[in-house]
Structure formats: structure tokens, C-alpha cells
Amino acid sequence: MHNITRVALVGGTHGNELSGIYLLKKWDKTSQFARWPQLELTQTIANPRACEHSVRYMETDLNREFALEDLQNYRLVGYEQLLAKKLNQQFGPRGRSPVELMIDLHNTTSNMGACLMLLRKDAFNIGMAAYVKDRMPEAVIYFQDNLPKERKRFLISVAQQGVTVEVGPQPNSVLQQETLELMETMTAHILDYVVLYNDDKLASLPAGFEAFQYTEDLVLPTDEQGQRLAMVSKRLDRRDFHPVEPGDVIMETFDGVPICWEGDYTAYPLFINEAAYHRSHSAMSMSQRIVLRCADYF
Ligand SMILES: [Zn+2]
């Protein structure tokens, strides 16, 4: 088993998602990092300029700038494109990083609760999910290991292992105590888990746990001018991770025509009406409920 010792905690990858930025400040002030003396913890604000302006990004979304070919493309010299190259030097390089785990702290405006987003189904990630879900039953475990390779352009992909803590609903540029507490609890559980994982003391993991698996993204219909023709149905408002059956109404056009879920499976939507995705006209992502057995991975 490969030990996970060098752990990078990152906030402010998106400058208007305040929980991560303030969790790092809070833990710094209260010396919380000393709770995990076994780990080499570092803390970083990924996009300080965006944080200063309280915007998601200055020019382009930093969390989409870490494709290997983009990191190696020196014609890409926008603000976030250069920042990504700097972060890749600091934490990477991608593919040969000394950082064994990166935890990236995010907020969503969607009602996703405390969501642990994972990019792999290996023993380390499965164990983490099981441990977090066991100690924090309200947590949502979300696997997006099946995202196509060209979509895995996240900051966390620079490190050997990376997870995203995504907590909402919280408006952009707002700090809410409850959201901060959820993020703090989940992040602490992750770090506790890493220590147990290294000590090979995971005997008490539950046999299995419920999770959600990414399936697809849904966009709002638009006309030839790119104007929206519909909105998300009020039936889905704030109902992230609630089941949607085939034929259920999920959107409605402005002239009152319902648009139904055309998939052939019970879907569990997430990122419903997420504010940051307004440009792409994203309505929501879809997932399926899965149950994972720890014994299959250990
Ligand atoms: Zn974010």
C-alpha cells in the first residue's frame, strides 16, 4: 500500500466560493492543521486575484485549464492559463507529482449538501467514501470517474490523487456558517481517513454504501440566437439527488410546454440550476444511484 503523506488543501480555485477560502483562514488561525501531525499538510489559495475580486475567474475557468496538452502549450497565455502552469509547477507536474493527495474546496449554488466528488474507483477512494459516509450520513458520495478524458481538466488532476469537496447551496460571494461547518466536517473526516489508511487501520469500514454515478449533462434548449427557450421545472427546484423517473417533467418552455426526462432510467439530478454554468445553458447533470461493496476493492 502506497502511503499518502503530502496533502495539499486548496481553496479559492473559484474566487467567489467562500467556504474553502475561509475554512483555510479559520484552520490557520486556530492551528487546526496540527490535528494531523502525521501528514505534511499545505494550504493554498489557487486563484488569489479572482478571490480579491470575488469572481469565479478573471478570464477563463481555472478549474478547466489542467489538460496536459494545455499545460504544455506555451501559446496559451491568458491569466488563468498561466496560473495553471504555475500551479502545475508548484504541485506537479501532472503525471509526476510529489503531492499524494489534493483536496479542492468548492461551493455550489445548487442544493447538493455536502458532496464528496471522486474521480477514481480504487481502494483509496472507495475507502474514503465509505469512511466519510459512515461518519457523516448526510454526505453525498458522487463518482465521476467515467467522465471522458477531455473533461478531466481539473486542478486536482495535477496531484497523484485528488478529491473535490463541493458544498451547497450557497450563493456566490456569500459565506454561510452551516455550509462552512459541513465543509469543515467533511474535510476533517477525509484527513482522519488518510491517517487510518496509512496506518492500515480500516478494519471498521462499513460493508457498503450508497453513492451516485455521473451519467450525462442536460442543457436548456436555445434558439438560433442562443436565447433560452425553457427553464428548469419548479418541480426540480432544490431537489438535487431526488429521483426523476422517465417521463417526469424536468423543464418547461416559456410558452408552457413541459419537457420530460427521456432517459430510460431513474435519474438523480445534481447541479440543478447551478449559477456558474449560465453560459453553457446547463440545466443539470444526471446520475444514477449505485451501491458499492468495499470488499470488491480491498
Ligand atoms: Zn467551484
Question: Residue 171's pLDDT is what?
Answer: 98
Question: Residue-wise over 3-16: b if at least 16 C-beta within 10 A, else e?
Answer: ebbbbbbbbbbbbb
Instruction: Count structural domains, the chain.
Output: 2
Shared domain for 199 and 257, answered yes or no, is no
CATH number for the domain that contains residue 20: 3.40.630.10
- The parent domain of residue 188 ranges over 6-210
Q: Cα separations (Å) of 94 from 97, 155, 242, 252?
A: 6, 10, 36, 43
Å from CA of 118 to ligand 1 middle: 14
Q: Report the distance separating Cα 132 and Cα 247, nearest Å.
A: 34
Shared domain for 194 and 224, answered yes or no, is no
Shared domain for 194 and 252, answered yes or no, is no
Of 179, 210, 241, the position where a domain reaches its end is 210
- Here the cell at position 276 is 456558474
Shared domain for 39 and 178, answered yes or no, is yes
Shared domain for 137 and 240, answered yes or no, is no
Q: What is the pLDDT of residues 193-214, one digit of tens each?
A: 999 999 988 878 999 999 999 9
- Does 189 appear as a known binding residue? no
Shared domain for 230 and 177, answered yes or no, is no
Q: How many CB atoms lie within 10 A of CB 285?
A: 23
In a domain? residue 288: no
Region 248-264: what's the mean pLDDT?
A: 98
Q: What is the three-class DSSP state of 277?
A: helix
Shared domain for 88 and 232, answered yes or no, is no
The cell 442543457 sits on which residue?
219
Of 210, 242, 269, the position where a domain reaches its end is 210
Shared domain for 69 and 112, answered yes or no, is yes
Give yes or no for residue 221 having a pLDDT over 80: yes
In a domain? residue 1: no
CATH number for the domain that contains residue 266: 2.20.25.160
Computed over its alpha carbons, how large is the radius of gyration of the chain?
Answer: 19
Contacts of 285 (CB under 8 A, 6+ apart): 214, 215, 216, 217, 218, 269, 270, 271
pLDDT band for 1, please (50, 70, 90 cuts).
Answer: low
In a domain? residue 16: yes
Shared domain for 83 and 188, answered yes or no, is yes
In a domain? residue 290: no
Nearest to 167 by CA among 236, 105, 120: 105
Q: What is the pLDDT of residues 18-46, one digit of tens each?
A: 999 999 999 999 999 999 999 999 999 99
In a domain? residue 266: yes
In a domain? residue 134: yes
Which residues have a catalytic role annotated?
Answer: 166
Shared domain for 150 and 188, answered yes or no, is yes
Determine contact, residues 153/70, Cβ cutoff 8 Å. Answer: yes
Question: Residue 107's pLDDT is what?
Answer: 98
- Here the cell at position 187 is 474535510
Shared domain for 186 and 223, answered yes or no, is no
CA 77 to chain centre: 26
Q: How many CB atoms lie within 10 A of CB 77?
A: 9
Å from CA of 11 to ligand 1 middle: 9
Shared domain for 36 and 141, answered yes or no, is yes
In a domain? residue 98: yes
Question: Residue 204's pLDDT is what?
Answer: 82
- Helix extents (H) in the chain: 18-29, 48-53, 68-71, 79-91, 123-135, 177-198
Å from CA of 215 to ligand 1 middle: 20
- Here the cell at position 133 is 459516509
Å from CA of 153 to ligand 1 middle: 13
In a domain? residue 228: yes
Å from CA of 201 to ligand 1 middle: 32
- Does 2 appear as a known binding residue? no
Of 210, 240, 272, the position where a domain reaches its end is 210
Contacts of 212 (CB under 8 A, 6+ apart): 140, 141, 142, 143, 241, 268, 270, 287, 288, 289, 290
- Does 53 appear as a known binding residue? no
Question: Residue 279's pLDDT is what?
Answer: 87
